[in-house]
Amino acid sequence: MTLTALQKLDLADQLDELIIKAPTVKGLDLLDLNDQMEAIMLQLGYGVAPAPATSEPAPAPVTEPQPEPVKEDQPVPEVVTDFLAGKFISQAQLDFVETLRRVGDYIGVYLELDDARQQTASWIAASGLAA
């Protein structure tokens, strides 16, 4: 149903009157008033969503790449050995954060969380950021 401009103005005036009246109404009368407001808003086209033009499938969620499973004969990655040896203690803050991200894939595999905590504490002490 298409409304003319005069019909839209008339409905808008009715809605304005109901909105002005709303703060003074209580209880069941307020529920009736809200129903009337909702009916007018639906007539004006508010709350009515158009149907999608085409039904395209939703895009597949992007997943982050997972590290490959560890094989028993696989050597310890160089980033882990260097991290445990303390070679990253003198890095700048952003570089150290990137190193932590790279090493984080191997926590629980080639090093423990406590090892990462100790190296991080060493980096904090060496960089002078300790409180």
Angle at 59 between CA 54 and CA 62, to 5 degrees: 170
Cα–Cα distance for residue pair 74/60, rounded to 1 Å: 33
Does 16 map to a domain?
Answer: yes
Does 58 map to a domain?
Answer: no
Torsion over CA of 103, 107, 109 and 112, rounded to 10 degrees? 120
Does 99 map to a domain?
Answer: yes
Domain of residue 121 covers 78-127
Does 50 map to a domain?
Answer: no
SS3 content of the chain, % helix, strand, coil (to 5): 55, 0, 45
Q: Note the pLDDT of residue 106.
A: 87
Given a cut of 80, is residue 129 above it in pLDDT?
no
Percent of the chain residues topping a pLDDT of 70: 81
| Mean pLDDT of the 104-124 span | 87
Given a cut of 80, is residue 16 above it in pLDDT?
yes
Q: Which two tokens stand for residue 23?
A: 């703060």
How many domains would you assign to the chain? 2
CA atoms within 13 A on the CB side of 67: 14
Angle at 31 between CA 28 and CA 35, to 5 degrees: 145
- Going by pLDDT thresholds of 50, 70 and 90, the confidence category of residue 71 is low
Tell me the pTM.
0.43
- The tens digit of pLDDT for each residue in 72-97 reads 667 888 888 888 888 888 888 888 88
Look over the chain and give the mean of its residue pLDDT values, rounded to a whole number: 83
Given a cut of 80, is residue 131 above it in pLDDT?
no
| Cβ–Cβ < 8 Å for 83, 99 | yes
Amino acid at 67: P
- The tens digit of pLDDT for each residue in 48-60 reads 666 666 666 777 7
